[in-house]
Amino acid sequence: MNIFFNDFILQYEMLLAIVLIALIGIPHGAIDHILFLKKTAKTKRFFYSFYFLFIFLSLIFWLYMPQFSLVLFLLLSAYHFGQSQLQSYAQLPNVLARFMSILWGISIISAFVILNFQEINELMSLQPDFDIFIALFNFELYLWIFVTSTLTLVTLAILNRFKFQLKKEILYFLLILITFYVQSAFIAFALFFVFNHSLVVLQSEHHFLSKIKKNFNIILFVKYLAPFTFISLFGIIFFSILVEIDFLNVSIPFIVLVSIASLTLPHAIVMEVFYQKD
């Protein structure tokens, strides 16, 4: 249910969501090469080989198995969101931290679908190439996933309450759910992705680089982020133009979804390396 949603403001919310994601969301993955090379002994050739290989493999999966690719993307995103949220709890055992991370992300994503269910289905029905995904969005299924994952997560948090800031995390979780409830899907996701995820990751990246580089400042940080941010944006715009001139027989939202998903796969692998305890 979205009490502020109407057709008049939808286009402005979409524009705001795009601007926020372009300025903050996409840049949070723009220095994967720097982070990976600083955290490992691998070469640049190795990094770019594996990075573009996974992008290529992701595109192939989306071409031939779009439903499987969407499920994989949602699960990977869930883990990635939860990982950044719980990164400060270094005292948790690795296996437990990973399990709680994916539970946190699954709870958030399922809550987003539940609280924006009607709008998501309406938006997908407007794009013929999204018809194949409608069967994956079942309200009862997502409600069951939300309840199960949330109860399991809270149980684990209570059992590890001496290592976990339970009250803080519950309040934070409820504030996210309230945002999902009162905003339309576009702006709700943008606000979560930008302020609850991307900015957190950017802060971690800045902190890491400031420890290993002398005289590191925000201007230098922006310079590091700029090249691959522009490349990513250019790629999305380029393929969107190909859609507009009917060179590609898909919709622009589908192009954006596949582009983000294809970049998320190698990015999540890099962040897994980045968050490993030294």
pLDDT 10s digits, 229-246: 999 888 888 888 888 887
For the four alpha carbons of 140, 253, 193 and 264, in that order, the dihedral sign comes to positive
pLDDT of residue 244: 83
Confidence of residue 3 (pLDDT cuts 50, 70, 90): very low
The stretches of 160-198 forming alpha helices (DSSP H) are 166-182, 185-191
pLDDT at 87: 85
b/e string for 47-69 if b means 16 or more Cβ within 10 A? beeebeebbeebbebbeeebeeb
Cβ proximity of 27 and 202 under 8 Å: yes
Calculate mean pLDDT across residues 77-101. 87
Residue 75 has pLDDT above 90, yes or no: yes
**Percent of the chain at pLDDT exceeding 70:** 95
Residue type, 130: F
Q: 0.95 cut: is pTM over it? A: no
Token pair for 202: 């950017």
Answer whether residue 1 shows pLDDT above 60.
Answer: no
Which pair of tokens denotes residue 229?
A: 């941010």
- Which residues, 6+ apart, have CB-to-CB distance to 34 below 8 Å? 209, 224
Average pLDDT over residues 130-156: 93
Q: pLDDT tens-digit profile of 149-203?
A: 999 999 998 888 767 778 888 899 999 999 999 888 888 998 999 999 999 999 9
pLDDT of residue 101: 93
Q: What are the Cα distances from residue 102, in Å, to 61, 77, 86, 246?
A: 22, 9, 10, 39
* Percent helix, percent strand, percent coil in the chain, to nearest 5: 80, 0, 20
* Spatial contact of 120 and 137, defined as CB atoms under 8 Å apart: yes
pLDDT at res. 67? 94
Q: How far apart are CA 154 and CA 161, in angstroms?
A: 10
